[in-house]
Amino acid sequence: MRDLNELKHYAVETGIDGGAYLIRHNPTNVQLRVIASHGGGWDHVSVSLPKRCPNWTEMEFIKRMFFGADEIAMQLHVEPKDHISIHSNCLHIWRPQNAEIPMPPSLMVGPKI
């Protein structure tokens, strides 16, 4: 995760291991509500909107803002028994700090152009 001090001009509130941010995404003209943290061995960013879930373009935009270009991060789809939702229009990006995220062979995703 980037040093969150680099994003302090977007911060609404900051704490020991993260903060809350309001970030305008110009292509979709929405203000994304972001909470970022880096405690407990995980980097975590949640992204929400008042009336809908963020779309792929908005999530990718936030991923690039909060993580370095060389950092792989993920969204998780957990078992129903582990699903927790306290905000219906919120999505999350995760990155373990002490482990690599395995990647499928690129050929399984599609040809490199």
Task: List per-residue pLDDT tens for the chain, 113 residues long.
Answer: 999 999 999 999 998 889 999 999 998 899 999 999 999 999 999 999 999 999 999 999 999 999 999 999 999 988 888 888 888 899 999 999 999 999 998 888 888 77
Residue 47: exposed, middle, or buried by beta-carbon count in 10 A (0-12, 13-18, 19+)?
buried
pLDDT of residue 51: 94
Q: Go through the chain and tell me how many residues it has.
A: 113
pLDDT of residue 52: 95
DSSP 8-state secondary structure symbol assigned to residue 12:
E
Residue 36: exposed, middle, or buried by beta-carbon count in 10 A (0-12, 13-18, 19+)?
buried
Q: C-alpha distances in angstroms, 33 versus 6, 45, 58, 100?
A: 17, 10, 11, 28
pLDDT of residue 44: 97
pLDDT of residue 78: 86
pTM over 0.85: yes
Question: What is the C-alpha to C-alpha distance for residues 102 and 104, in angstroms, rounded to an integer?
Answer: 7
Going along the chain from its start, the domains and CATH numbers come out as 4-99 (3.40.1720)
